[in-house]
Chains A and B, each alone.
Chain A
Amino acid sequence: MTELTVGQVVAERTIPLTRDSLVRYAGASGDFNPIHYRDDVAASVGLPGVLAHGMLTMGAAVQAVVDWAGGAARVRDYQVRFTRPVVVDPETGAELEVTAKVGALDEEAGTARIDLTVRSAGQTVLGKAQVVVVTAA
């Protein structure tokens, strides 16, 4: 990891989400808000459909960086802004397209800031998505 340069793409990944993914995440996280699994409830509050949990999008997107960096313990800081919901179709689901690029290097601290671009259906769904990882051995 000593050869990193700002702007370098370190990981790219497409994550297919289905309604099954949402139910699984609901159980694992304890977030049982019905807008994440019931079309009627989603429609009643004016949503375009059942949405992925923002925290599922955040949690799945960072895995590309976790794998590249050498494990979950390498992550020092992770932040996102939820800018657009991810609608998950009951039949066709949705896809998260994740690109991870080096945003900044701090050689003294032995860390790199990795900036994530996360898109679904052609639109960016997370803003200011930044992961600080330990790059020193």
Chain B
Amino acid sequence: MAVNPAIQGRSYPPTESYLVGREKVREFARAVFSADPVSLDPEAARAAGFADVVAPPTFAVVVQEHTLAQLLADDDAGIDFSRVVHGDQRFSFTRPIVAGDELTATLTVTGVKSLGGNSMVTAESAIHDAAGAHVVTAISTLVVRAEEEER
């Protein structure tokens, strides 16, 4: 199985709405060693002008993950998960994620490249809030290692 180059430009349907929970944000913040009061303390977040706790920057991966699952489940894409290595990751924010947000994510494959038998797949997941406003775009480059017989 090899990565299908025709997936370049392909978009997947928006994911089901993800409701960002206060305790999930706090749990994630503790897991990444955050000491940031706006992520951990609702009072501090409100004092800083936010409705509730603010997610650490990489929390967006939790929402993005649902879109990557769509891509990996697409048999036509030909991405063998057991050969996938995470190459690059990027988050570009319009605004931070805040507890209470209802987010949906839409993945588009923006690049498929071959390099010495390996494939590099770049996937951009645009994350929007319930009002349809852009929050953050999460971009992953997945390196799909060549199968032995393809080398």
Contact = CB atoms under 8 A, between A and B. Distances in A.
Contacts, number: 108
B27 interface: yes
Interface residues of B, number: 36
Main SS of chain B's interface residues?
Answer: mixed
Interface stretch (A3-11, A53-61, A100-108, A113-121): A53-61
B87 A82 contact: yes
A54 B142 CA distance: 12
A80 B61 CA distance: 13
Interface in B24-70: 24, 27-28, 30-39, 48, 50, 54-58, 61-62, 65
Contact of A71 (B31, B48, B93): B48
B12 interface: no
Interface string A22-50: 00110111110000000000000100000
A98 B105 CA distance: 31
Contacts of A94: none
B88 interface: yes
A72 B39 contact: yes
A89 to B, nearest CB: 18
A62 B82 CA distance: 28
Contact of B27 (A15, A28, A75, A79): A28
A73 B48 contact: yes
Given A55-B58, A78-B58, A71 B36 contact: yes
Interface of B: 24, 27-28, 30-39, 48, 50, 54-58, 61-62, 65, 82, 85-93, 95-96, 139
Interface of A: 15, 21, 24-25, 27-31, 45, 54-56, 58-60, 62-63, 66-67, 71-73, 75-82, 128, 131
